[in-house]
Structure formats: C-alpha cells, structure tokens
Copies of this chain bind each other. A is one copy, B any other.
Amino acid sequence: MSLSEAISTFVQDGCNIVLGAALENAVPFAATHELIRQGRRELNMIAPISDISTDMLIGAGCVTEVTGAWVGNVSGGMGHNFRRAAEKGLPHPIKVNDYSNFTIGMAFFAGAYGLPYIPVKTILGSDIMKSNKNIRLAEDPFSGEPVALVPALKPDVAFLVVQRADKAGNSHIWGSTGLTQEASIAANKIIVLADEIVEPEVIASDPSRVLIPGFGVDAVCHVPAACHPAPLIGKWKRDNHFFHDYHKETRDPADFDRWCDEWVRDLPDHEAYRAKLGGQLEDLRILGDIPSAPANYATE
C-alpha cells in the first residue's frame, strides 16, 4: 500500500496519532509530510519525543493537541511553531498534555496490555501532576504511600519506521527503540514504513528481532529514507544540517510557510522529496557493513 493510501484510509481528522516513539531515531517524517499534504486537522500528536515532526505539524495547522514529554528541535533548539501555538495561539491554540518519558511509557504499556492504569512514583512532586488532569494522586493501598495513577493511552494510529519488512508487515528493528513496541501495540491501527522490503525468509530467520508481528500490522509501506532527517541504525546517518536549517528557516510564520511549501506541500510524495535532496541524501546513506554475530535457530 502506498503511504498516501494508508493515510487516507486510516487517518481521519481528529485522530490520536503516534508518529515515532523511538525518540530521536527512526522518526517517520515521511508520514509527517503526508499528513500535512492531505491537510489533516485537529490531530492529537502523541509521542515521548519526535524531534521536529510535531513542530512541523503544528506549523501546518494540523494539530490541536500535543500529548508527550518534549517538543522542539533536539539539536537545533526550540520549536518555533510549538512556541507560537502555545504562547500566541498561532496558527491556532493547542492543548498540551504533559507527561514525562517514563510516565507516557507506562500509559502506552497500560494501553498495550489491557491494564486500566499504572501506579508510578517517578512523577510525584512534579507540577506535571497539576498540568495533566489525566494523572491522579492516590494512596498505595498496600503501603499507604503516595502514588500517581497514569491511565492507559490508546492511540488511534501508530506509525513506525523499520529497517526491513516483508510484504505482510513482518519486520525487523534494531538499535534503541524507545517506546515503539508499547506505543504501537497500544494503537488501534499500526502502519509500518519499511526502509527495505525483503523476502519473508529474511524476517523469519530471526523471530527474536521482530518487535511487532506482521499479523498486528494494518499497512506496510515501502518508503526508503522515511526517517530523513532523523537517523536509522545501519541505514541512514542523521542530517544535522537539515535540523539546523529548519531552526533558522522557520523563525516566523511566513518563513515556516515557505519552508513547508518547499519541502512538503510543493512535492507530490516522498519520492519527490528524496529526489529533491539528491546528493545530500546519498551522503547520508550508510555504505559500510558491521554485521551482528549470527544466532543459530537450528533444531537438529
């Protein structure tokens, strides 16, 4: 399925969306772009940290709610669109549901595995307990000590980038994964952006490297470099300049609009985006090979 088709099928205005839960790597920026192109509105973007993806969607007017731990530009500074929306209501106001990384992890975990809520200690004393009305202070009935109850989060759709998948969505991920597994399983629909499509035998050769099984995946889209400008382990380096330029070129709304036209709206799809990057993208491609030691699954 094409990414455009997957998004038009599975994402409606008003959806709660996880777009990248691995923190700073494997961010599905190709989906960010397509959500902007298709003009989705009133989205609630849910993620611990998705680098500049959330800032872009806010600037393009797609977002009315942000649920997560951090929004900005990890190597480049603050997110201008996030600030404008939160401070001045431009392009329109957003509601911010604050979490810490671990507590949003617990919210996903609860959503994934059928637990109504999780009692945590890591958010006690923080004013996040005041700003996020979903989290409740309670008493641990066993010890009588204070505890924060974090209710389950069940996103409508989760997008994730994987290094390789077969056509059925069985896929392999390696490197750090942040909250990818919990956030994806918690979601109602899972859309996989595969950097490479491989034969089913490749994935089946190592079922312990599967993070989400294919039978749980609703769409698999072959989108090379879907992560750009974020890195993908063993596939793409991080485009540090791109993050820096984004920071410089989106300081005011007109600048952001120009940036967004140039890099998103005026391009029909991710293939055109890759073509526009051209040699800049090729320079980020990882050409070396440092392979993992094999695991033996023989039975005899």
Contacts and interface: CB of A to CB of B under 8 A. Distances in A.
Given A117-B119, A205-B293, 12 more contacts: A114-B120, A114-B122, A115-B119, A116-B147, A118-B119, A175-B297, A205-B292, A208-B209, A209-B292, A288-B299, A291-B294, A292-B294
Contact of A237 (B117, B136, B142, B299): B299
A175 B208 contact: yes
B118 A145 contact: no
Interface in A115-137: 115-122, 136
Given A294-B291, A295-B174, A298-B288, A116 B119 contact: yes
B174 A297 contact: yes
A286 interface: yes
Interface of A: 106, 114-122, 136, 138, 140-143, 145, 147, 149, 151, 163, 172-175, 202-203, 205-206, 208-209, 233-235, 237, 286-300
29 contacts: A115-B118, A116-B119, A116-B121, A116-B145, A138-B141, A142-B151, A163-B295, A174-B206, A174-B295, A174-B297, A203-B293, A205-B290, A205-B291, A205-B292, A205-B293, A209-B292, A233-B297, A286-B299, A286-B300, A287-B298, A287-B300, A288-B298, A290-B296, A291-B295, A291-B296, A291-B297, A292-B292, A292-B294, A294-B294
List the 3 closest pairs (A to B, CB-CB), nearest first.
Answer: A288-B298, A206-B292, A291-B294
| Copies of chain A in the complex | 2
Contacts of A142: 116-117, 136, 149, 151
A202 B292 CA distance: 8
Given A234-B297, A292-B295, A114 B119 contact: no
Contacts of A116: 119, 121, 140, 142-143, 145, 147
